[in-house]
Amino acid sequence: NAGVMQNPRHLVRRRGQEARLRCSPMKGHSHVYWYRQLPEEGLKFMVYLQKENIIDESGMPKERFSAEFPKEGPSILRIQQVVRGDSAAYFCASSPRQDYNEQFFGPGTRLTVL
Amino acid sequence: GIQVEQSPPDLILQEGANSTLRCNFSDSVNNLQWFHQNPWGQLINLFYIPSGTKQNGRLSATTVATERYSLLYISSSQTTDSGVYFCAVDDIKGAQKLVFGQGTRLTINP
C-alpha cells in the first residue's frame, strides 16, 4: 500500500515565479493536510482539505497561497509570485476520514527560491 | 491555542545508550503523534498514541493523558536513530490540525 506521495521532491524557483506542489494521499484517504517547515519556525499547519472542499485554511498566508483538492487527481498547493521567505519544506499528510485522527505524512517538497 | 513543549532540545549519546524524550502539552488532545525527521528531512511516523503505551522494536512510547505528557523511549541507540524527534498534538478536540513541538535533536555517535 503506497504511502503519501509528493512531487516534486525538490523545486527551485526564481523570485516572482509560481510554485506548484502536488500531493497524492494514501489510497482510500479523502482528507489532506498541508504543513510548512520554515528554518527557524518549526512545523506549522497551513490548510485542511477534503475532496473539493477547503475545511480549514487558518494557517495559510493571506496572499499568494492557495490550495485545492479536486474530485480527481492530487491536491495542489500553489504559491504565486514566490519570494525568498517562501523557501521551506512543505509536507502533505492524509487521513481516511474525519473521525480518524492519525495523519500519515509524505516525504515533503523542498522549495528553494533564488 | 494548545502549547507543546519538548525536552531536552538536544541530546548527544554514544551508540548503545538508552534515551527518554519528553513531550508536555497544555490541554486535552484527541491525537498525539511522534515523528522522526531523518537527516534527509523526511518525516517518519513513529507512533499514534493519544493514550497508553505502544512498542515497536527498540522504540516505545507512553502517553499519560490525564497528566498531559508523553514519553518516547529509544533503547540500544544506533547511529541511524540520529535526527530530530517531534511530538505533535491536535489543537482542540475535532480540529484535526496538528500542533508540533520544537523537537529534540538526537545525535548518536559511533
Please check whether residue B101 is in contact with residue B65, taking contact to mean a CB–CB distance below 8 angstroms.
Answer: no
- What confidence category does residue A40 fall into, taking pLDDT thresholds of 50, 70 and 90? confident
pLDDT of B94 over the 70 cut? no
Among the listed ranges A4-8, A78-82, B89-93, which one has the minimum average pLDDT value? Answer: B89-93
- Strand boundaries in B28-103, DSSP class E: 32-37, 43-48, 52-56, 59-64, 69-74, 83-90, 98-100
The helix or strand, by DSSP H or E, that contains position A67, with its residue range, turns out to be: strand A65-68
Task: Considering only the beta carbons, identify the residue of B96, B99, B103 that sits closest to A48.
Answer: B96
Q: Which residues of A touch B43 (CB under 8 A)?
A: 91, 105, 107-108
Is B96's CB within 8 Å of A33's CB? yes
Q: Amino acid identity of B83?
A: G
CA-based angle A87:A90:A93, to the nearest 5?
175
**pLDDT, tens digit, 9 for 90 and up, residues A50-68:** 999 999 999 999 999 999 9
Q: How far apart are CA A21 and CA A77, in angstroms?
A: 5
On the 0-12 / 13-18 / 19+ scale of CB atoms within 10 A, A39 is exposed
**pLDDT, tens digit, 9 for 90 and up, residues B13-32:** 999 999 999 999 999 888 99
Is B97's CB within 8 Å of A107's CB? no
